[in-house]
Chain A
Amino acid sequence: MRLSVHSYSTVARIQGPLIFVERVMQARMGESVTIVFPDRRKLEGEVLKIEKNNVLIQIFGESRGLDMDQTSVEFTDAVKKAPLSRSLLDRVFDGSFQPLDGLPHFVPERWAPVSGLPINPIARARPQELIETGFSVIDGLNTLVKGQKLPIFSSAGLPSKEMVAGILQHAHAGAVNSVETGKAFVVVFVALGLAHHEHEFYRQALMRMRNRFVAFINLADDPVVERLLAPRFGLSVAEYLAFVHGEDVLVVITDMTNYCDALREVSTAREELPGRRGYPGYMYSDLASLYERAGRIKQMPGSITMLPLVTMPEDDITHPIPDLTGYITEGQIVFSRELHQQGLFPPVDVLPSLSRLMQRGIGEGRTRADHRDIANALYTHYAKGRDLRRLEVIVGREGMTDDDRLMLDFADAFEAEIVHQGTERRGIAETLDLGLGLLQRFSLESA
């Protein structure tokens, strides 16, 4: 413990979001610092690296206006913490946890380190309670369960926010709820680099769920580095609501691509060796430190379910951002530009989509005894139809057997009737009946 306030004006270098300070005594790794601008403005920062008494600091904000002489840095002797209280609900903050809704800051009931602590794997309870989202492609084919992390892989220009809003709206209607407790979700909404028009769209979606949300909004023209902090605040809040207050929390983060770009920006400024596409080699571990905070804990009532949104750069699923995300999350919902162009909503390609925790959430006593068989049959036949489309392009429909033509028709009908549903909400039973009906119409077995 250091007793006196440590303030230094020995700034040696400022570079992008980084400050190098010299002759610092006893700095701590990850220590939270306050950077005082020449004009007395203050910004938060964090210690990234220490070499003897030289300290490297990352600033959560714009370094514009800093200078070498008058800038000072105050060391707090503690790691960054998030203020917590139930009166967080219904509030909107920026990426530095400052109120954006014009109301005064709340009085914290407690504080928690923003980076969280890893859940002991032995303490984890298996996610297995179904969440009904109202979308057939999720509920029927890639079922989401409480405590799961399931990202949406979208592409520029595709209606991902409409799908997210759809899910949020059902939350408002009390439809996104656990079948077992019937309790509505609390939504922690984290926006990173959000465009203004999107902001308005989400604002309205959130407005509809009074008292059941907390939002952290970092807009497109807000400081980039704040994007590294905002999701951590969001998750600390989620952990508090879930594991202190027993709430079922749904964390929506949009857009993880902007998060990763911020990470790359800091890494580049640190002159670290760039990995694939310039993203740092530790991006997997860094992303995991966010995504792995989803889950349930034995003998605790709450849960954290995560729905991060990832925009695949160049529609490429092998790009490091979706790739590393897919390696950590428990499946993914993948959008297809082609389906979108055909006017389908949600334009989800079910073949690369996956929910790894589906098996536990479906079947007798959870959804319906025939759920697994219906889903498997729909998948198998649709995959076959999709394969045959390639052949159809080359040899034409006439060159194919009757059986093959049937599969082509099936794939078309599957997209038009199961995948496509517009803005209407479908219950799980309705989805399964549709699937069963489709299989029967084509005389296909569901086992």
Chain B
Amino acid sequence: MTNRITGISGPTVSASPKGLKMYDRVSLGDAQLMGEVVRLEKQRAVIQVYEDTRGLGVGEPVRSVGKPLTARLGPGLLNRMFDGLQRPLDGLYQEYGAFIQAGKQAAQPWLARTFSFIPLKRPGDETRRGESLGYVEEGPFKHYIPNMEADGRIVRIVEGEMGLDDPVAALSDGTQLYLQHDWPVRLPRPSRGKRARVEPLITGQRCIDFLFPLARGGTAIFPGGFGTGKTILEQSIAKFADVDVVVYVGCGERGNEMAEMLEEFSALDDPRTDRPLMTRTIVVVNTSNMPVAAREASIYTAVTMAEYYRDMGHNVLLLADSLSRWAEALREISSALEEMPGEEGYPTYLASRMAEFFARAGAVETADGKTGSLTMILSVSPPGGDFTEPVTQACLRTTGSLFLLDTNLAYRRHFPAINWFQSFSLYEGDVASYFNRQVSPQWGLHHRRCREILQKEQRLREVAEIVGTEGLQEADRMLMHVAERIRREFLMQNAYTEDAYSSPEQTNEKIGGILEPYFRDTNTPTHGASGTEPGPDYPRTSLGSKNARPEA
């Protein structure tokens, strides 16, 4: 029987509940909009609608598709832009033109392609769920095809050119396995467990790599008011980070930015592989004027694709801009559902949803016994630039690092506008010892001295406000001078110039070039208490970082 629409409120629809199951995907109305059952009551089912509900009428049919919101995982995802429901935007553009209409499904343009499948198993082999059956070549690396169905014995496995919907293997119980499969986006993909290993994730941003380094599998947020450089920073990291796959989510932001990114990433080559950057990138975009419920889903669609590549043993980076827009979408849906509001109208489960999402980051042991990592770097857009708001605060409870973007720095065109007093990275200690070993034994020393100078400068500025710059001593003025050089030549990094990327070696050279003459001139010994290892005052992960927590 067909269910019928009984009510419509914002992005939610009520329908007669009979036969519907929680989290069932449904098709709504004559326009066939996509939705998901989010609440069941005796008298009604409530459906979150992923498309614009305008024009939808009471009495129109609701049909269950019978499975939850899923992402389709297989070869062909890289080098593409999807909406929050994983509809390919190139396909929509080709079929329906420049404007997105509700209810339209697009063919997946790569569906017709075939891929050369090379099996890693033979008939008679046992396979466990999650393990790879074989692989296809995708760009610079092997794209492993997992068995996501069941444990069992392989009775048939093929080799050669295969379409996405052709079975590549069969199990003794009759289960067919394909090049692609569907995975429910809200369900984390399984692994053999997290691995505690600390390897840096080099971003090419001096301020991050040197002062607040990131680890693969870690999480970072950068909150900042409008125009403080969140998007530019996200996109710079997407370009230069030393990872295998980048999944970028434009969540509730601008269309022009995404067009720009697509154009740039198609034109620029990845220096590691000499292929266009887009070929290692998947973009998920739900701009601010696209439906909010799909915006809410977009980060899950993205993280599912990221996990999929992680499970092949790759280092994957998920960038989302901005998590606040996701939280606001959650708030809009929650309010349409007439749920009890928590702080600033956000639902009371905001923090737990966020924690669940952050928990999908990490370095894991894959079913094949490899290590894969999923790092998350998320921007946050606090209203009025006020960091005490619920989204920033909920993130702070779970994030491994914080780059706080400062409106005052941005007004002065100091970019990236990372506030060096209030930012922190819990990975700092461990990762810095890696840099000490791999890049330069001076790394830790430079780091410590750089911090000291910046802190002293801050104090001297306060003094200067009392005695004037004329009243400072020569040594103080020299310190202020070197601090200014650190800020202007080292911490600032213009994303529109050659300087947009700085390798750890270049970073080390640059800071050395500023610090060494200064310490020579001021007769301070060039080697600190320890030249190779971080000194005892060096903030360590286990201890937390003592002066790194934001003061606010």
Contacts and interface: CB of A to CB of B under 8 A. Distances in A.
Interface in B73-123: 81, 89-90, 92-93, 97-101
Contact of A330 (B90, B92, B254, B331): B254
A327 B9 contact: no
Interface in B473-532: 496
Interface stretch (B168-176, B238-246, B422-430, B460-468): B460-468
Given A119-B98, A276-B383, A391-B469, A351 B55 contact: no
A404 B53 CA distance: 60
B335 A272 contact: yes
Given A326-B226, A396-B468, A318 B385 contact: yes
Nearest to A117: B99
B58 A53 contact: yes
B54 A285 contact: no
Contact of A29 (B55, B101, B344): B55
Contact of A50 (B9, B285, B464): B9
B383 to A, nearest CB: 6
A444 interface: no
A29 B8 contact: yes
Interface residues of B, number: 68
Given A52-B7, A292-B288, A326-B227, A119 B255 contact: yes
A359 B413 CA distance: 14
Contacts of A310: none
A327 B384 CA distance: 10
A25 B4 CA distance: 13
Nearest to A390: B465
A79 B55 contact: yes
B464 A120 contact: no
A339 to B, nearest CB: 15
A337 interface: no
A120 B468 contact: no
Given A119-B255, A276-B383, A379-B413, A49 B8 contact: yes
A119 B99 contact: yes
Contacts of B256: 124, 126-127, 147-148, 295, 330, 357
Contact of A118 (B53, B260, B287, B328): B287
A275 to B, nearest CB: 6
A87 interface: no
Contacts of B254: 292, 328, 330
A285 B330 CA distance: 12
Interface in B41-55: 53-55
Interface string B406-432: 000001110000000000000000000
A229 interface: no
B56 A29 contact: yes
B55 to A, nearest CB: 5
Contact of B332 (A121, A285, A396): A285
A318 B413 contact: no
B140 interface: no
Given A285-B289, A326-B226, 20 more contacts: A26-B59, A29-B8, A49-B7, A49-B10, A51-B6, A52-B6, A117-B99, A120-B89, A121-B258, A121-B259, A123-B98, A124-B255, A126-B256, A126-B259, A275-B345, A281-B345, A285-B252, A323-B225, A395-B467, A400-B468
**3 closest Cβ pairs, A-B complex:** A399-B468, A288-B288, A318-B384
